[in-house]
Amino acid sequence: MTGDGVRGSGVLSALGTQAISAQAVIPGLLLVPTPAGQSDQAWAARLTAQGLSVQPDYLYSALAVPNDPGVPGNAGVNVVTALGTRKVYQTYLTRITAPQAWEFLSACGKTPAAATTAMLDSALESSHPDLQGRIVDSVSFLGATDSRTTEHGTATTGVLAATADNGTGLAGVTWSGSVVSVEVLSAVGASTSVLAKGVNYAVQKGAKVINMSLGTTKVRSDPALDSVLSSAAGSAVLVAAAGNTPGDGVYYPASHPDVIAVGAVGRSNSTLACYSARPSATLTRPLDVVAPGGASYGGCSSAAVTDDLLLLAPGGDYDLQAGTSFSAPLVSGVAGLMRAANPGLSAAQTRALLLESVNRTGGLPLLDAEAAVKAATR
């Protein structure tokens, strides 16, 4: 409501007893509640009759809330489990404050989007309805006789890049942006030579973030790959899953000093998932950050499958799975949002800001997308 100044006698007289509860918003503008027992319309008419300019105190909604059913607050995605069909949500997005990061970027006039990110993984189902418009390049470094699979690559890529706001399935943590799919993982694993080719290709394609949801406990240092990773870290933020056995230390390449090692939390943000790799007595390399990864992997937990992450699956489908493989792309996605929000950040600066912005209130370095994006834009 506007009038002859917030302290003007004419305005106060017109308000009557409501002048006591009137709040000054800015000079010349008052916020006045409707008196009990009156309708908003009747109160507005009364004030208008006194020569005042009146309008509602409109409520504006955040624009960065995608309409994908899996996003909390929307309809949910029906998934068939051993417990029957269940309606499931991407609760991991809210646990890492992804919606708040999107809203912050929107408020800054920026579309939530990630810098070019390379997914070094198995092949993916490029025809999946929830990956349309996201994959700008796809290459394979597997041989003609290698056994190929699309399950792992589809799931990990969906965490980062499921097409947001398309009314279908899930929303990837990056909302939008370019993804390079690099097939290095066959049904039996990935070799040093194939991984080296994949990392080099990602760098050549201008990837600002490289996600590796793969690893091994059989080597602790791979000289050929060490060199490739150290070189790539000059231009790209390197992220890898820490591994899925708790007693073997952090897997390689997550244990490489230039790679962000990502562990998993299960149902609680303050407790590592039972399967998550972690420092051991002899292999003390710490986890750099943790993110939701689901709770029931490998049967080491009493958690139900419905405590796992809602992911993309081949056949245009959706599934529930757990593992640090799915924690890592959450971190990669946030790094991508940071580098897109502030293209001037180097890979080293992005890494440092991301790790400095983690939420330690529960005792673990939990990924905090909102804090990381805000830190990148200061």
pTM of the model: 0.84
Hey, what domains does the chain have and what are their CATH numbers? 1-59 (no CATH), 77-377 (3.40.50.200)
Q: Does the active-site annotation cover 152?
A: yes
CB 324 within 8 A of CB 241: yes
pLDDT at 274: 93
Looking at 152, 186, 213, 296, which residue is catalytic?
Answer: 152
Q: Does the active-site annotation cover 128?
A: no
pLDDT at 166: 94
Q: Inform me whether the pLDDT recorded for 19 exceeds 80.
A: no
Q: Inform me whether the pLDDT recorded for 331 exceeds 70.
A: yes
- The type of residue at 235 is S
> Residues of the chain with pLDDT > 70: what percent?
92
Mean pLDDT of the chain: 91
- Least confident stretch, 23-37, 93-107, 309-323: 23-37
- Least confident stretch, 110-114, 170-174, 239-243, 367-371: 110-114
Q: Does the active-site annotation cover 121?
A: yes
Question: pLDDT tens digit string along 48-106?
Answer: 888 888 888 865 444 457 999 999 999 999 998 777 898 999 999 999 999 999 999 99
Question: pLDDT tens digit string along 208-253?
Answer: 999 999 999 998 899 999 999 999 999 999 999 999 999 999 999 9
Looking at 68, 121, 130, 307, which residue is catalytic?
Answer: 121
CB 91 within 8 A of CB 71: no
Q: Inform me whether the pLDDT recorded for 267 exceeds 50.
A: yes
> Residues of the chain with pLDDT > 90: what percent?
76
Beta pairing class for 317-321 and 309-313? antiparallel
Q: Inform me whether the pLDDT recorded for 15 exceeds 80.
A: no
Looking at 181, 276, 296, 325, which residue is catalytic?
Answer: 325
Nearest-CA neighbor of 87 among 333, 352, 318, 361? 318
pLDDT at 5: 37
DSSP collapsed to 3 states, the chain? CECCCCCCHHHHHHHHHHHHCCEEEECCEEECCCCCCCCHHHHHHHHHHCCCECCCCCCCCCCCCCCCCCCCCCCCEEEEECCEEEEECCHHHHHCCHHHHHHHHHHCCCCCCEEEEEEEECCCCCCCHHHCCCEEEEEECCCCCCCCCCHHHHHHHHHHHCCCCCCCCCCCCCCCEEEEEEECCECCECCHHHHHHHHHHHHHCCCCEEEECCCECCCCCCHHHHHHHHHHCCCCEEEEECCCCCCCCCCECCCCCCEEEEEEECCCCCCECCCCCCCCCCCCCCCCEEEECCCCHHHCCCCCHHHCEEEEECCCEEEEECCHHHHHHHHHHHHHHHHHHCCCCCHHHHHHHHHHCCECCCCCCECCHHHHHHHHHC
pLDDT at 43: 81
Task: From residue 71, give the alpha-carbon distance in Å to each of 172, 176, 187, 231, 266.
Answer: 10, 15, 31, 37, 19
Question: pLDDT tens digit string along 137-193?
Answer: 999 999 999 999 999 999 999 999 999 999 999 999 999 999 999 999 999 999 999
